[in-house]
Amino acid sequence: MKCPFCGHLDTQVVETRVSEEADFIRRRRKCGHCEKRFTTYERPEVSFPAVVKKDGRRVDYMPAKLRGSFSLALRKRPVSTEKVDAAIERIEEKLLNLGDREIPANKIGEMVMRELKKLDKVAYVRFASVYRSFEDVEDFKTFVEGVGKR
């Protein structure tokens, strides 16, 4: 690594420590030329896939949007924050494990529906009623009857 003081490339690691939360590594380095010391930090770089909207636009994945969908569907429902956090974590883990650079928005919507179905049937139906854009009452009725049978 290049020394920030003199620009020399000959630096060595003197000390390495893992943070208390184990989410980054701190390294103390010493320049072999000017002998000054400096600190570097290593953090994992995590990049979610871009979200491809219905109209073809590509937008960055926004965790706040995912959380907002859950909050809206689960409004006034008896589901703990811990369970919601776990569901969101499972979805984000799946997104990262896919290894794709892009993902259609409807795939994320389907993941949300699966998680909501496990958490709360009412929230599941709420989300589906908006997400699936039912054309008429019969479509909605058929969907709700299907949920009740499972």
Predicted pLDDT at 33: 96
Range of the domain at 63: 50-149
Interval 93-142: pLDDT, tens = 999 998 889 999 999 999 999 999 999 988 988 888 776 666 666 766 77
Phi/psi class of residue 22: alpha, beta or left (left: φ > 0; alpha: ψ in -120 to 50)?
left
Domain match, 24 and 96 both: no
Q: Do the domain assignments include residue 119?
A: yes
- Rg over alpha carbons for the chain, rounded to the nearest Å, is 23
Domain match, 123 and 95 both: yes
Domain match, 83 and 124 both: yes
Tokens of 121: 């049937």
Domain match, 56 and 78 both: yes
Interval 25-43: pLDDT, tens = 999 999 999 999 999 999 8
Q: Give the predicted TM-score (pTM) of the model.
A: 0.65
Domain count for the chain = 2
Domain match, 26 and 91 both: no
- Exposure b/e, 5-25, CB count within 10 A at least 16 = b: eeeeeebeeeeeeeeeeeeee
Residue 56: pLDDT band with limits 50, 70, 90: very high
Q: Do the domain assignments include residue 1?
A: no
- Please indicate whether residue 145 or residue 35 has the higher confidence score (pLDDT): 35
Domain match, 72 and 118 both: yes
Q: Do the domain assignments include residue 5?
A: no
